[in-house]
Every structure is written in structure tokens, then in C-alpha cells.
Amino acid sequence: MSKTLRLSEKWFHRGLWLVAFLFAWFLVGLGSTIVGDLPQVETYRSLDDYLDPARAPAVKEAILVAQKNAKDAQAALDQAQLRQQSAEANNRAARETFSNWLATRKATARPEQDEELIARTKQLDELRQAERDALALVERQQQAALDARQAEERAQAELQSLQDSARDEYLSEQRAQELRVFGYRLALTLPLLVAAGWLFAKKRKTSSWPFVWGFIFFALFAFFVELVPYLPSYGGYVRYNVGIVLTVIGGRYAITALQRYLERQKLAEAQPAQARQREMDYDQAQARMAKNICPGCERTVDMKDGKTDFCPHCGLCLFDHCGHCHTRKNAFARYCFSCGTAADAPAVPVVNAP
């Protein structure tokens, strides 16, 4: 049909489609913002909100205290282990020195060195005692660290027990909240879809058709695309059931429209050819003629042979002759392409030359 439109009319038509898409784009942006902000109408709660208020704070405080004690005990243990390593090294070095000195003492057998032997032995005993003290300190810090870890584990186990007890209530409330939010979104998008169906059926051929189609595009996008990221586990049933219902309604509408169209075609083909030709839309007839289709019955006709003047299927006149210059022309043309005479001008009789 676009081949028969005026150039300015084509551009206006394209501009109106641009208006429709722009209108749909802005509506989609607004709808996305609204749908995305809908969860804010609900106050989201965490699992901690469902714990026993009488026990949970004390358990959490116990965990914090145990973690702090474990951290302090580990720091003290590191220091005690370092001191133990230093005491072991000192004791080991002193014993090696004493062993060397003792070997020398046996070799020389000098009695005046007996007092030094006693002193060195006493020094070794002191180093050994320091090593034992350092080891005892390490063991105490290990015990303190172990006690702190076990206290934290007991508190964590108690907290886990409280969480397990509250989890069913939390999940139940979460599912209910999810259902409410989905209901808000569905209550927003489903009426848009219904309104789009009504506009398609009643208003798509009016002068406001760009806004009608823009709203239809927006409604379809909002329901079948924008709603998808927020669908709960059962949301697919709603989406696909609505799609099935719309498909059935659209299919029934298409079947009914086809039946009405076929009935109109039968009634039109039963009328005289001249009456049918007068009632046809000019642009539509020209578009069909350009595609080698009969404007009356819409069946394919070979119009390029230069001889076919009538449709072989319904008998409609497709080509006639200009009443002024007698040139063969499109029967639906308003003016002769050869001489410019109006199609409804009175015919000029042909005068044969003597």
C-alpha cells in the first residue's frame, strides 16, 4: 500500500510510527521504574528478626566474648611459644658448653675446678627450670585458647539451634511476602494487558492509532518481559496461562474475522462488477494491482501479458481503455496516464479515416 501513498504521506506515516515507538519507550521506562520500586512497599526482614528475643542477644554476646577471648589467648600463646623456643635454645647452648667444659675437666683432672663445676651445674638447672616454666606457660595458653574456641563453638551451636527453630517461620513469611509483591506487580501489569486488548479491538484504526499501538507495545513488554525477573516459582504458571488465554482469544478473533471476511467477499463477488469497482478503496486497489493481485477477489492474476482485462476468477474489470485517447489503462486509475483525461469523462467516438 505504501507504493500508492504520496511522498509526504509516506513520511508522515513513518513519523507516526516513530511517535508510537517513542511513546512505548517512555512508557516502558516508567513501567520499569514502578515495577522495580514495588518491593519497597514491603519491609524485608532477615532470619535474625525471627530468633527468640530472650535468648538470641545473650548467645550473640557470648559468641563475641568467646571470639575476643580466643583472639587474646592466641596472641598470648604466640608470645609464650616464642619464650619457650628461646628457653630451649639457651638450655641447649648451655649444655653443649658444659659438655665441652666437662670433657676438658676430665682430661686435666684439676681439683681447683670443682667449684666451677658446681656453679655450671647450678646454671644448667636454672636454665632447665626456665624451659619448664616456659613450657608450662605455653600449655596454660593452649588451654585458654582451647577453652575460648570451645565456648565459641557451644555459642555458635546454640545460635544455630535458634536459627533452625526460626527458619520455618522466616521462610513462610518470606514466601507470603514474595506472593504479596508479585500480586502488586501482577495487579499493575495485568490491567495494562486488558486495556491493550480493548484498545486493539476498538481504537487501533482511529486517528490516535500511534498512541494506541505505543500503549499496546508497552503493555505486552511490561507483562511478558518486564515481569519475568520478578516471577516467583509459581509465577510461570500465571504467565503461561495468561499467554494461553490470550492466544486462544486472539485465535478465536482471527478465525471469526476470517469467516466474516470470506462472507463479505462472497457477497461482494455476487454484486455487479461496476458496483464492486465503485466501492473499492483507491489506494488499496492500486496496491493490489501493483502486486498482480485482483482487487476484488485477491487472487493472483497475470497482468503483464498485456491482454488480460478481466479477472479470470471473479470477472472484475482490471484494465479498460481511455474514453479520449483509447489507450489501454488501469481500470482503477482516476486519470489516463497517456492523455490525463479523467476516467469518468465521456467517451470520444473513434472516427475512421476515409
- Residue 49 contacts residue 167 (beta carbons within 8 Å): no
Burial class (CB in 10 A: 0-12, 13-18, 19+), 215: buried
Q: What is the CATH number of domain 47-181?
A: 1.10.287
Q: Do strands 319-321 and 328-330 pair parallel, antiparallel, or not at all (unpaired)?
A: antiparallel
C-alpha cell at 301: 492474476
pLDDT of the residue at 144? 82
- Residue 184 contacts residue 192 (beta carbons within 8 Å): no
Q: Can you say whether residue 298 is alpha, beta or left, with left for phi > 0 and alpha for psi between -120 and 50 degrees?
A: left
Q: Which long-range contacts does 331-336 make (Cβ < 8 Å, 24+ apart)?
A: 331/277, 332/277, 332/280, 332/282, 332/285, 332/286, 332/289, 332/295, 333/286, 334/282
C-alpha 104/C-alpha 102 separation (Å) is 5
Alpha helices in the chain (DSSP H): 7-37, 56-108, 114-202, 209-221, 235-270, 273-279, 282-290
Question: Coil, strand or helix: which one is 61?
Answer: helix
pLDDT of the residue at 105? 59
Nearest to 228 by CA among 175, 182, 176, 195: 182
The neighbouring-strand residues paired with 319 are 330
C-alpha cell at 117: 663445676
What single letter denotes the amino acid at residue 31? G
DSSP 347: P
pLDDT of the residue at 173? 78
From first to last of the 354 residues of the chain, give the pLDDT tens digit.
444 455 566 676 777 788 888 888 888 777 777 776 666 666 667 777 767 777 778 888 888 888 888 888 888 878 877 777 877 777 776 776 667 656 655 655 555 556 666 676 777 777 777 777 777 888 888 888 888 888 888 888 888 888 888 888 878 777 777 777 777 777 777 888 888 888 888 887 888 888 888 888 888 888 777 766 555 555 566 667 777 887 888 778 778 877 887 787 777 666 766 666 667 777 788 888 888 888 888 788 888 877 888 888 887 888 888 888 888 888 888 888 888 888 776 555 544 444
DSSP 53: T
Vertex 167, ends 166 and 172: CA angle to 5°?
Answer: 105
Buried/exposed code over 264-296 (b: 16+ C-beta within 10 A; e: otherwise): eeeebbeeebeebbeebeebebbbbbeeebbbb
- Residue 331 contacts residue 318 (beta carbons within 8 Å): yes
The DSSP annotation for 210-264 comes to HHHHHHHHHHHHIIIIITGGG--TTHHHHHHHHHHHHHHHHHHHHHHHHHHHHHH
C-alpha 124/C-alpha 90 separation (Å) is 10
State the span(s) of the chain assigned CATH 1.10.287.
Answer: 47-181
User: How many whole angstroms from its chain centre is CA 285?
Assistant: 46
Q: How crowded is residue 114: how many other Cβ atoms within 10 Å of its Cβ?
A: 10
The dihedral sign for the CA sequence 109, 114, 116, 117: positive
Question: Coil, strand or helix: which one is 55?
Answer: coil
DSSP 42: S
